[in-house]
Amino acid sequence: MELLSPIDTIKGVGEKTTKLFNKLGVYTIEDILLFFPRTYLIYPNPSKPDKDSVGSLISVEGRLKTAPKVYRSRNHLDILSATIYQENTSVDLVWFNSNYLKNSFEPGKVYIFYGRLQEDNGHFKMSQPLMFTPEKYMQLKEQIMPIYHLTKGLSNNLVLKCTKEAFEHCRLDDNRLPDEIEKKNAFMPYSQALKTYHFPDSFDDLVKARKRLAYEEMFFFILNSRLQENNIASAPNNFSITHHKETDDFTNLLPFSLTGAQLKVLEEIKLDLSGEYVTQRLIQGDVGSGKTIVAFLAMLDVALSGYQSAIMAPTEVLAKQHYKTFCEWIELSGLDIPVALFTGSMKASEKKSMQRLVDENDNCIIIGTHALISEGREFYKLGLVITDEQHRFGVQQRDKLSSKGNNPHIIVMSATPIPRTLAMILYGNMHVSAIKELPANRLPIKTCVIKESMRNTAYKFVSDEITKGHQVYIICPLVEASETTEAQNVTDYSKKLDEYFKGKYKIGMLHGKMKPAEKNQVMDAFANHETDILVSTTVVEVGVNVPNATVMMIENANRFGLAALHQLRGRVGRGEAQSYCILMNSSSADRESERLNIMLKSNDGFYIAKEDLKLRGPGDMFGVRQSGEFSFRVADIYQDSDELELASADVDALLKKDPDLELNPKLRSTLNSFLADQFYVL
Ligand code: ADP
Ligand code: MG
């Protein structure tokens, strides 16, 4: 079995299983070895079900008095139900579409069930619990269980078995890094780290394995960017872009004046664009700091100098929003500058007419999603490219956009808060600008954490804000009802909410499974205040700007990472009115309230992400990514910031001795294979 053999070389993996693995992006043996657990589980000691453990994952030992029953629910699910007894307490168990389990039970016997304890009309309940014999359970309790991302039809057990099999038959090469680096750092060897990351004997081992893998990922990432920078950094500036009076005139027409921080960044960009070399600049500014207008003003100078510029956004919703804003700004300016838009969902005829606009106008301002870099599109007069919400793109995508022109200037914008030192390492030779100041008219967002018992009060508040003419976001974790979790879903929630408010308010619904055109429609309706409430999954997280929205209510807030909550909170507080963030905590665990309370203490995204990690339990720590930045498989820039600095120093030392890796041909090929299977989340 070779690393690149297809997964059906594993015994027992047939056509059906192969398809399911493919769905998860797993095609080869190597893919399966790198398909890391999402989290880990240690089965707890069986406990007595009581009110305090409602909402938590527990194990209950109990006797089954009668055989389980099978029936069909109103929405056509096959339901298997049983009741277990422990002294004078009982727990009702239900499974969906799992009738085959029926024969695994023997009435009168004792079993152990693992699942989330719920309470329904005074009865304890568990849905979809895992079932074990006491002997089997005691055996499992000794182990740390890897939990994988799954897809319908593919069980955790099957992934686990296949991974074990792959490790058994596949030989891994431990010589990946130069000897002196291996020696100096004394990490766990690669093959051992890989295996330990799937099947750890202890959390200590897991931490060691993680260190190695995180270090390695960052090492290759930094090595690659340093090697590329050497080519770009010294490219001469082929353009003559200057600052124009018309840009200042337009600025004076805006309904607001620019903040000091915005002006400072604009000064820096002016110098960049007229400098001797092409520029690469990172603009970091927390959510709502006003990065869009800065991008626009830079693009305006480029257009007035007779060149094209392009801005790439990670989602259709955001690209369309930029297009609308930019068109309005151009109209306000009274200048004759065309604006073009490219998104994946546009009709071929629309794309064609946009392309004509670009071809015929050397001063065109271009906006788009990654549709900009696909489909063989070419832009010949590109003087500046900007990526918005940089962290949603891979480095290679950014480079692809700039390769559409002849060494254009590059600006990337990001709201992911990282300290300057980390930014310098990750973005290499890029100059870093920070917009630290929020526009003066902003009031700090008021945040509260509430429990289910306060739902009516929260809805009353929502209703009052709508009466004042404002709008409300409500975020749910799921798109539709799930058999395995109790979390709120957008589909049912919208209906329930409409019933609650008796149809008084217009409610929009948005989620990632909708077609781009539908999403655009829903978002437009909200932006134009045709709807009052937008019930959505986290798809609104990125960049969306509706200043009239003043309430962000997040259901099952305990299920989200705090960095994500911080980004969501940033969708409000974008206008002059006081804004609010309501976090609904559906967990009864103290640890969860403590974690959510961090959101009350700070508005600093970096602090929030770090504190979140400190409070997580060991099993929780793994697989938690506070930012999608660079889409590392294992590494997280917050959690592994020490390894990041170490890797950076090691790369620098190595390149000083061997700038083109001529002395390390093996390292060059390992780097290439690393880059080949790096994946990007879009
Ligand atoms: P982000 O930095 O998160 O991308 P945006 O660029 O979307 O933020 O700006 C958020 C809102 O603030 C927009 O409505 C924008 O027009 C407005 N805005 C930008 N700069 C200022 C300013 N100096 N004063 C007041 N409002 C501003
Ligand atoms: Mg933005």
Residue 539: pLDDT above 90?
no
C-alpha span between 12 and 464 (Å, rounded): 60
pLDDT for 248-260, tens place per residue? 999 999 999 999 9
Ligand 1 atom at shortest distance from the alpha carbon of 435: 2
- Residues 379, 381, 386, 387: what is their CA dihedral angle, to the nearest 10 degrees? 10
pLDDT for 105-143, tens place per residue? 889 999 999 988 888 888 999 988 989 999 999 988 888
Residue 379: pLDDT above 50?
yes
Residue 277: pLDDT above 70?
yes
pLDDT for 319-366, tens place per residue? 999 999 999 999 999 999 999 999 988 999 999 999 999 999 999 999
149 close to 44: Cβ distance less than 8 angstroms: no
- 């254009």: which residue's tokens? 408
- Burial of 471 from C-beta contacts in 10 A (0-12 / 13-18 / 19+): buried
**Ligand 1 binding pocket mutation candidate from 256, 436, 571 (most atoms within 8 A of CB):** 256
Q: What letter represents residue 10's amino acid?
A: I
Residue 680: pLDDT above 50?
no
C-alpha span between 54 and 656 (Å, rounded): 59
pLDDT of res. 391:
63
Least confident piece of the model among 408-417, 634-643, 672-681: 672-681
292 close to 318: Cβ distance less than 8 angstroms: no
215 close to 646: Cβ distance less than 8 angstroms: yes
| Mean pLDDT confidence for 77-102 | 88
pLDDT of res. 480:
81
Strands 339-342 and 365-368: parallel
For ligand 1, residues with CB inside 6 Å are 256, 258-259, 262, 285, 287-293, 415, 439, 441, 543, 545, 547, 574
| Mean pLDDT confidence for 282-293 | 88
CA of 395 to the centre of ligand 1 (A): 26
H/E segment holding residue 432: strand 431-435
Q: What is the DSSP letter of 392?
A: G
Specify the higher pLDDT residue, 203 or 624.
203
Q: What is the dihedral sign for C-alpha 17, 20, 26, 28?
A: positive
| Ligand in nearest proximity to the CA of 567 | 1
What pTM was estimated for this model as a whole? 0.74
C-alpha span between 495 and 514 (Å, rounded): 17
pLDDT category at 681 given cuts 50, 70, 90 is very low
C-alpha span between 262 and 432 (Å, rounded): 14
Phi, psi dihedrals of residue 372, rounded to the nearest 5°: -60, -35
484 close to 446: Cβ distance less than 8 angstroms: no
Instruction: Give residue 429's Cα distance to chain centre.
Output: 26
Percentage above 70 pLDDT, the chain: 93
CA of 328 to the centre of ligand 1 (A): 15
Ligand 1 atom at shortest distance from the alpha carbon of 388: 4
The closest alpha carbon to 559, from 116, 185, 158, belongs to 116
Show the tokens assigned to 385: 């490219």
Mean residue pLDDT across the chain: 88
SS (H, E, C) 596-650: HHHHHHCCCHHHHHHHHHHHCCHHHHCCCCCCCHHHCCCCCCCCCHHHHHHHHHH
C-alpha span between 615 and 599 (Å, rounded): 13
Ligand 1 atom at shortest distance from the alpha carbon of 294: 6
Highest mean pLDDT (candidates 1-5, 267-271, 402-406):
267-271
pLDDT category at 16 given cuts 50, 70, 90 is very high
Beta strand extents in 117-270 (DSSP E only):
118-120, 123-127, 130-132, 145-147
pLDDT category at 269 given cuts 50, 70, 90 is very high
72 close to 169: Cβ distance less than 8 angstroms: no
pLDDT of res. 618:
60
Ion ligand 2 residues within 5 Å by Cβ: 543
25 close to 129: Cβ distance less than 8 angstroms: no
How many helices, marked H, and strands, marked E, lie in the chain? 23, 23
Q: SS3 of 161, please?
A: helix
Residue 245: pLDDT above 80?
yes
First to last CA, the chain: 32
